[in-house]
Structure 1
């Protein structure tokens, strides 16, 4: 599997389908809680939240980030959080969490930290230990043989030599008899008001499995925008929080950055500022126009990062108000529900949100798995 193979498939990938909210509810009813989810690299729970919306059951969450796992435990009391680094976790330590006689299919979700492969990481290192995380996941796949597998990451994870982490994983899946499919997709095609490009791999022991059809991006179902996601939230000042809305808290701004955001227009950049507000580097280099920018109301947001509430670290300024987006607004752009609460300090919560899989994207993938399981059961029952 090469970058050209995947991008070629993505270029012809269908982008039209009925909205999630209007289809597949029969699948949710028929298959509800019939697939158990073991969420590796769970973070705060974006993947689990989406899979749960689709009708799957999160049972286990493994992550080494204490703050993120605290948020996960707060929102998924039915699941067991395991605060461990997968690199030091033995397969025997998870034995107790698996039934001797499996009654339901198991889905392993593995959305490992993307920073080693991200375009935002300009100091990539081939020795970054995080790059081997999928290799460690392979130990658990080989031991427990989950019927289903989901991997989500930045497209850069599959670049480089055939010995890269994704190629090694697909080689293992081939050896173990899995059917798998991978492609590069955009989150805004699945109801996420954010331009977030991701590589997704789905795998199954049951048979060939497809990626989900897009649900948004047509005249009848346009992509969702920043306005759709956050316009209903009450106004907020920089450095303040709203006592009535959980996590509606914005970072403070220095006086110079307050002057800069007042001089910024939606969708614009630092090029709109008077010379007195510009940084010395602005006259020395071209590009970096997304930093110190405001979002535009009528477009999806840029991809959120782990510093998504920092005005100076991207186009994370509110479209109208003189501040960066709040924790609640960042969560809404990642399509977390309003009642999903984050715990920790501002930096920790921003990191949790930036690292999360968008909930509506995970929901679309969850519905794809339920389609797949239902079709497999029909074949076994002689109904196909």
Structure 2
């Protein structure tokens, strides 16, 4: 397809997006380019959160995406006729779709909080994504998810029901059984798959965020035994040498150029501000324990004082000269305290968006809490762009363009 409405590319391949969120994966894929300047343009997005849907529509209307497109509400009930009808609005047909992308919601696979499994309704959304891929039959698909998906089980057995005196885990309860089931489904619908994890900081993101990526090829166009890093060679390094680029930092993301608008942010309680005031940049609750008093740390932590695990997110103040930790959906909870390096406040909405690499003009819709959630759930733009470029390289090498 030729794109005459935008300067993004002179020739573009159509993609559709499922479980689109606020559009981080979409935007990164859209700004990806092959060596000859070929890119992607959206034909359709699917997102059931009303605020995120309005964000997508506003971004398309503002010209941030290369075309306007319809946003449908539910991937689970999406039929081929619905897809065909919606694609016509953007001047496409099903046969034009070269790529399906998406990040099915992932709380049932997350290692943060209560972990579920594929039998959880939310785990089934991965298969809803693949059902649409099967209907559309694009040349490629790109699915991203939490890293925990790679070790999740089809059926989750609670920890208190495991141990030396418990019955052995069934095959479906074993770690990795969900991944085997998902890969089998991808093979059944006719796709060669390359899967693994990628750290967004290795691709220019000012954030340490590990994601599971699945690349699918209908026509088996990936090199045999390819890995994620074969398809997506890293561009940035923690310890660079020679002409290698180093990881980008929080300072790189939000310090320059200055953010033009007054900061919007949720406020800490006075009690929480009091503890953050004692913690220097780059530290967390452990600074209270080690430099103030054990008693102070215990009071600050409350019930979490007796919990297990590293608890690194508790009362965390960020460091200008390191990448940001993984952005979460709220920066003001006790366990997710993303405090500004210098000020007694969390990162602002605008700073959150900078860390995820959205352009400053990206029009997030909703309350402050809803916008934090949309941004925190997004795919880092640099990681999405690198994934899009990986597919474009394959297309270019195979097509001879």
Task: Give the TM interval when normalised to the shorter protein.
Answer: 0.7 to 0.9
The verdict on how the C-alpha distance between 1:365 and 1:257 changes in structure 2, with shifts beyond 3 A counting, is same
- In the TM superposition, what is the alpha-carbon distance from 1:30 to its structure 2 partner? 12
Structure 1 portions without partners, runs of 5+:
1-28, 235-241
Structure 2 portions without partners, runs of 5+:
1-6, 33-38, 62-66, 155-170, 223-229
Contact 1:135 1:168 (8 Å CA) reproduced: no
Separation (CA, whole Å) in 2 of partners of 1:177 and 1:152: 19
1:344 maps to which residue?
366
- In the TM superposition, what is the alpha-carbon distance from 1:38 to its structure 2 partner? 0.3
Pairwise CA RMSD of aligned residues? 2.6
Separation (CA, whole Å) in 2 of partners of 1:361 and 1:32: 23
1:295 maps to which residue?
318
Secondary structure, in 3 states, of the residue corresponding to 2:384?
Answer: helix
The verdict on how the C-alpha distance between 1:230 and 1:30 changes in structure 2, with shifts beyond 3 A counting, is closer
Aligned partner (choices 208, 228, 236) of residue 195 of structure 1: 208
- In the TM superposition, what is the alpha-carbon distance from 1:141 to its structure 2 partner? 1.7
Separation (CA, whole Å) in 2 of partners of 1:84 and 1:124: 25
Aligned partner (choices 93, 117, 120) of residue 109 of structure 2: 117
Normalised TM-score (structure 1): 0.81
**Which gives a bigger RCO, structure 1 or 2 (Cα 8 Å, sep 6+)?**
1
Aligned partner (choices 147, 150, 154) of residue 142 of structure 2: 150
Aligned partner (choices 382, 388, 393) of residue 371 of structure 1: 393
- CA deviations 1:149-202 (Å, max 9, x no partner) are 001111221322587554344323323432221111111000111111111111
Of stretches 186-195 and 94-103 in structure 1, the one that deviates more from structure 2 is: 94-103
Secondary structure, in 3 states, of the residue corresponding to 2:246?
Answer: coil
- CA deviations 1:119-162 (Å, max 9, x no partner) are 11225366431100121122222221011100111122132258
Runs of 4+ displaced beyond 6 Å: 99-103
Contact 1:225 1:301 (8 Å CA) reproduced: yes
1:181 maps to which residue?
194
Normalised TM-score (structure 2): 0.78
Contact 1:34 1:104 (8 Å CA) reproduced: no
- CA deviations 1:199-246 (Å, max 9, x no partner) are 111112243325311110023300111111112365xxxxxxx8x428
The verdict on how the C-alpha distance between 1:282 and 1:169 changes in structure 2, with shifts beyond 3 A counting, is closer
